[in-house]
């Protein structure tokens, strides 16, 4: 995906809005029902303000949105670069941007979640292209990349363990649409999972029958080195993968060790 991705490519178009006359009680109910903590205030299609949970906390005795909403609202054009929008949100410390068209009418909303998703979707193709070129150089073959939903029961794992704590993180991402696609190699009629074992295990536990993937299709049926290694380790299905419950992911463990080491050094000094 191009680095020139635009706000309109990632914004949510179905925006929940309120009016200045919306009662405070209705806002509380709306927040409870949707899980959102803020809404644009719209009049005749235009954004007139924003109301958030923070506004409600600061003004417990006020009865309508018009009395507590923020009127100095930062908005984004739908044709604005997603990178520029991210910079604005970071610098101004805001978590959502109402999006307007050329007529100043509200057409969407961009949140921190959308920013994260945009960066994930642009970083994964770089990994895929790197692996694609590596395969072509190693095996002297031709490949093509397809973005597709792969049935989880057709995936051949190549990793013998996953970590429970990271599994929780991938489950959270999947539920909120933040998980990046897995990377899969299709050789013959086999789908070999290269990257995304935690995501796939989490998806299977959530009952997902398919998972979003970048599939590198080989022009001939051949057994990759990672498949041979999986054979040697007895990894043929996801039932063969061990879930490690009593240890953190190595990177987390290293970070924890470093923190302990720093504290120990400070004590010695």
- Rounded Cα distance between 81 and 1, Å, is 13
**Strand pairing of 96-100 and 76-77?**
parallel
Neighbours of 75 (CB within 10 A): 18
Res 30 pLDDT > 80: yes
pLDDT of residue 263: 59
- Rounded Cα distance between 199 and 188, Å, is 24
pLDDT of residue 250: 58
Contact 82, 7 (CB under 8 A): yes
Q: Which residues pair with 193 in a beta bridge?
A: 184
Res 2 pLDDT > 50: no
Identify the residue with better confidence: 109 or 262.
Answer: 109
Q: What pLDDT band is residue 1 in, cutting at 50, 70 and 90?
A: very low
Q: What pLDDT band is residue 58 in, cutting at 50, 70 and 90?
A: confident
Nearest to 200, CA basis, from 249, 165, 151, 242: 151
pLDDT of residue 256: 46
Enter the DSSP assignment of 180. Answer: P
Res 17 pLDDT > 90: yes
Domains of the chain: 7-115 (3.10.580.10), 141-247 (3.90.1530.10)
- Rounded Cα distance between 151 and 216, Å, is 15
Strands (E), 101-203: 106-111, 143-151, 155-156, 161-163, 182-187, 190-195
Centroid of chain to Cα 240: 27
């Amino acid at each position: 995906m191009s680095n020139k991705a635009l706000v309109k490519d990632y914004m949510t178009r179905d925006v929940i809005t309120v009016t200045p006359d919306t009662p405070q009680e209705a806002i509380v109910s709306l927040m409870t029902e949707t899980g959102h903590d803020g809404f644009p205030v719209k009049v005749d299609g235009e954004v007139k303000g924003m109301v958030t949970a923070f506004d409600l906390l600061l003004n417990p005795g006020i009865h309508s949105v018009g009395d507590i909403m923020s009127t100095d609202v930062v908005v984004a054009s739908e044709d604005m670069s997603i990178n520029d929008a991210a910079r604005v949100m970071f610098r101004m410390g805001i978590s959502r941007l109402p999006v307007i068209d050329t007529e100043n009418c509200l057409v969407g909303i961009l949140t921190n979640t959308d920013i994260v998703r945009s960066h994930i979707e642009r970083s994964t193709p770089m990994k895929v292209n790197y692996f694609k070129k590596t395969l072509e150089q190693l095996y002297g073959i031709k490949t093509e990349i397809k973005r597709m939903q792969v049935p989880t029961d057709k995936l051949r794992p190549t990793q013998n363990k996953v970590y429970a704590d990271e599994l929780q993180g991938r489950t959270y991402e999947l539920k909120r649409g933040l998980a990046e696609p897995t990377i899969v190699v299709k050789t013959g009629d086999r789908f070999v999972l290269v990257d995304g074992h935690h995501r796939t295990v989490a998806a299977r536990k959530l009952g997902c029958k398919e998972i979003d993937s970048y599939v590198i299709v080989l022009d001939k049926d051949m057994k990759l080195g990672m498949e041979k290694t999986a054979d040697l380790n007895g990894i043929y299905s996801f039932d063969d993968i061990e879930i490690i419950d009593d240890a953190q992911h190595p990177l987390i463990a290293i970070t924890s060790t470093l923190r302990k080491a720093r504290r120990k050094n400070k004590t010695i000094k």
